[in-house]
């Protein structure tokens, strides 16, 4: 039989010794170490290193996220917004050109057919490009839905235009009806879908701006806590040893402060530049694109007024297309006073320098000239002189078409200038993030090493 385990001295006979677990013994050792100065120093060193590394990690993570958003603004969402505006403009210009070519007829229609074909090709190519860059995952996003709608409707529209042209060549009045039907489809289906696409891309651009400009609050808070802990540790060291400086802790504090200052300054510069790129770039581009579209729609309505010849009326028996022309002009240039209103006035206000304002002022002057020539054309048409009215609208000398071309050229020049300003400011914004994520990581590792070495030097005094 196995022998019984003897009872400990003073214990009850036959009672066994209860062994403690390794976990419990380890906790006892930790408690014992925590009440000694070396144990406290080890704990302080571990916490300091952890806080500094957390600060560096948070900085690298949040800066990388904002840098990626700034890259999206420059390389993705703003170009997609510009492409969406170009799709709208190409469609509107195609419709306007089709009406102008219908009016010109004969040899004069060759140039308009080439321009119309170029517009349709541009819109088709941009739709393919936009489709390839859509961010839809499981289901199509808002932009993807509109791209699919436009891709389906565009062939129908071009078919109607070709039918109108065929009837016009045969001298059949049915050609005008087909052209009006094509224009109706453009107004009610294609252009609203293009506008929705533009709005979706603009919303995406705004979201990317918001992400890029958002302050990295978690990283900032982690930095303040880490530096506060390092200052406290040095103060504690001074009170216990009367030594003013601990080189390791001082180096860790300096490195952490450098990261925090770099983070604040870099992000402040990035925010300022991105804000400038939005206020005097993205916003200005949007207004200029909308002004260009207003001019195109007004020109299309002007042409269709002569195509329809009073066949399409509003509810109060006014010429539908003439009413549309006047509404477009109000949107474009205001009520017609000496000062520019409407979108041209907004474009002047948003332009950041004289080089940006000059082409807009030229467009304003051309709009005033256009309105005067349009009034003369309407007067001739109302008197029954259709040939004279047609010459004033599509003729080569002092026509409304020449005024429209001046408006469009001025707005195009302003768009190119504002695009350059946007790119310059946005590049400055994303450049402010350059190197910050990597630099923060490196400095955080150095700061953690400094904290550990600084505490280690104090520990060596107990050996």
pTM summary value: 0.78
pLDDT at 29: 61
- The list of the chain residues with pLDDT below 70 reads 1-37, 39, 105-109, 134-140, 242-244, 336-340, 458-463
pLDDT of res. 245: 72
Question: Rounded to whole angstroms, how far apart are CA atoms 419 and 359?
Answer: 14
pLDDT of residue 249: 87
What is the reported pLDDT for 363? 92
Q: Compute the distance between CA of residue 304 and CA of residue 302 in angstroms, rounded to an integer.
A: 6
> The tokens of 56 are what?
């560096």
| Per-residue confidence (pLDDT) for residue 139, from 0 to 100 | 42
What is d(CA 6, CA 14) in angstroms, rounded to the nearest whole number?
A: 6
* Nearest partner of 441 among 45, 48, 61, judged by Cα: 61
Cβ atoms within 10 A of the Cβ of 221, count?
A: 12
What local confidence, expressed as pLDDT, does residue 22 receive? 63
| Residue at token pair 């539908």 | 320
Cβ pair 57, 442 in contact under 8 A: no
Comparing CA positions, the residue from 252, 253, 246 lying closest to residue 460 is 246
Which tokens hold the place of 226?
């880490």
Instruction: State the Cα angle at 439 between 42 and 274, rounded to 5°.
Output: 130
State how far the Cα of 5 lies from the Cα of 367, in Å rounded to an integer: 111
pLDDT, residue 192, reads: 92
């Amino acid at each position: 039989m196995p022998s019984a385990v003897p009872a400990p001295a003073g214990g009850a006979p036959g009672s066994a010794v209860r062994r403690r677990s390794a976990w419990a013994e380890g906790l006892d050792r930790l408690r014992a170490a925590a009440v000694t100065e070396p144990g406290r120093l080890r704990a302080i060193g571990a916490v300091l290193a952890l806080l500094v590394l957390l600060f560096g990690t948070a900085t690298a993570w949040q800066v990388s996220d904002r840098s990626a958003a700034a890259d999206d603004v420059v390389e993705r969402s703003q170009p997609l917004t510009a492409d969406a505006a170009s799709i709208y403009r190409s469609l509107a210009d195609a419709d306007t050109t089709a009406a102008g070519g219908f009016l010109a007829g004969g040899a004069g229609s060759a140039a308009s057919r080439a321009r119309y074909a170029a517009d349709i090709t541009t819109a088709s190519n941009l739709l393919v490009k936009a489709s390839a860059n859509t961010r839809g995952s499981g289901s199509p996003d808002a932009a993807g839905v509109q791209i699919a709608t436009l891709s389906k409707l565009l062939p129908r529209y071009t078919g109607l235009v070709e039918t109108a042209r065929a009837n016009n060549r045969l001298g059949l009045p049915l050609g005008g009806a087909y052209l009006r039907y094509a224009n109706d489809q453009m107004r009610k289906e294609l252009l609203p879908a293009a506008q929705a696409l533009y709005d979706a891309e603009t919303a995406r651009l705004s979201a990317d701006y918001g992400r890029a400009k958002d302050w990295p609050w978690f990283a900032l808070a982690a930095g303040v806590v880490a530096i506060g802990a390092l200052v406290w540790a040095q103060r504690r060291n001074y009170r216990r040893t009367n030594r003013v400086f601990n080189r390791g802790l001082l180096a860790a504090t300096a490195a952490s402060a450098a990261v925090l200052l770099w983070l604040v300054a870099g992000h402040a510069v990035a925010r300022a530049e991105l804000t400038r790129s939005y206020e005097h770039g993205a916003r200005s581009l949007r207004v200029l694109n909308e002004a260009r579209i207003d001019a195109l729609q007004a020109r299309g309505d002007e042409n269709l007024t002569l195509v329809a010849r009073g066949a399409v009326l509003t509810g109060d028996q006014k010429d539908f297309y003439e009413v549309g022309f006047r509404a477009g002009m109000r949107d474009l240039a205001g009520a017609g006073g000496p000062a520019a209103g409407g979108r041209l006035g907004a474009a002047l206000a948003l332009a950041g320098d004289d080089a940006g304002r000059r082409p807009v002022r030229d467009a304003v002057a051309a709009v005033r000239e256009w309105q005067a020539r349009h009034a003369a054309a309407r007067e001739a048409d109302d008197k029954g002189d259709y040939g004279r009215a047609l010459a004033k609208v599509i003729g080569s000398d002092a026509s409304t078409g020449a005024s429209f071309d001046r408006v469009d050229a001025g707005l195009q020049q302003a768009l190119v200038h504002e695009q350059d300003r946007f790119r310059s400011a946005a590049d400055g914004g994303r450049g402010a993030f350059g190197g910050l994520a990597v630099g923060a990581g490196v400095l955080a590792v150095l700061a953690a090493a400094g904290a550990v070495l600084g505490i280690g030097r104090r520990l060596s005094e107990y050996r």
